[in-house]
Amino acid sequence: MTYCVGLRLDRGLVFMSDTRTNAGVDNFSTTKKLFTWNVPGERAITIMTAGNLATTQALVSLLDERSKAHADRAPTILELPTMFRVAQLVGSTLKEVIAESAPSGQNAASFKASVIVGGQIKGGPPSLFLIYPEGNFIEVTDDSPFFQIGETKYGKPIIVRAYDPAMTFDEAVRLLMVSFDSTIKANLSVGLPIDLQLYARDSFETLEQPRITADDPYYQTISQGWSDALRNALTDLPLYKSS
Q: Is residue 240 part of a domain?
A: no
Report the Cα 110 to chain-centroid distance in Å. 21
Report the Cα 24 to chain-centroid distance in Å. 23
> For residues 225 and 1, what is the distance between their CA atoms, to the nearest angstrom?
26
Contact 37, 77 (CB under 8 A): yes
> For residues 66 and 74, what is the distance between their CA atoms, to the nearest angstrom?
8
Q: Is 69 helix (H, G, I), strand (E, B) or coil?
A: coil
Q: Is residue 238 part of a domain?
A: no
pTM of the model: 0.95
Q: Is the peptide bond before 125 cis (omega within 30 degrees of 0)?
A: no
Q: Is residue 75 part of a domain?
A: yes
> For residues 150 and 135, what is the distance between their CA atoms, to the nearest angstrom?
17
Q: Is residue 243 part of a domain?
A: no
We report the CATH number of the domain holding residue 199 as 3.60.20.10
Contact 70, 76 (CB under 8 A): yes
What value, to the nearest 5°, has the Cα angle with vertex 34 and ends 31 and 35?
110
> For residues 117 and 119, what is the distance between their CA atoms, to the nearest angstrom?
7
Q: Is 116 helix (H, G, I), strand (E, B) or coil?
A: strand
Q: Is residue 169 part of a domain?
A: yes
Q: What's the structural domain count of the chain?
A: 1
CA dihedral (42, 48, 54, 57) in degrees, to 10, reads 30
Radius of gyration of the chain (CA): 19
Q: What is the DSSP secondary structure assignment for residue 150, as one 8-state letter?
A: E
Q: Is residue 239 part of a domain?
A: no
Q: Is residue 138 part of a domain?
A: yes
Q: Is residue 127 part of a domain?
A: yes
Report the Cα 196 to chain-centroid distance in Å. 9
CA neighbor of 36 nearest in space, from 118, 136, 129: 118
Range(s) of the domain holding residue 109: 3-232
CA neighbor of 67 nearest in space, from 101, 90, 95, 41: 90
CA neighbor of 78 nearest in space, from 88, 64, 92, 91: 64
* pLDDT string in tens for the chain (243-residue length): 799 999 999 999 999 999 998 655 556 688 999 999 999 999 999 999 999 999 999 999 999 999 987 556 678 999 999 999 999 999 999 999 999 987 665 677 789 999 999 999 999 999 999 999 999 999 999 999 999 999 999 999 999 999 999 999 999 999 999 999 999 999 988 999 999 999 999 999 998 788 999 999 999 999 999 999 999 999 999 999 997
Count of CB atoms within 10 A of residue 182's CB?
23
Pairing relation of β-strands 12-18 and 194-200?
antiparallel
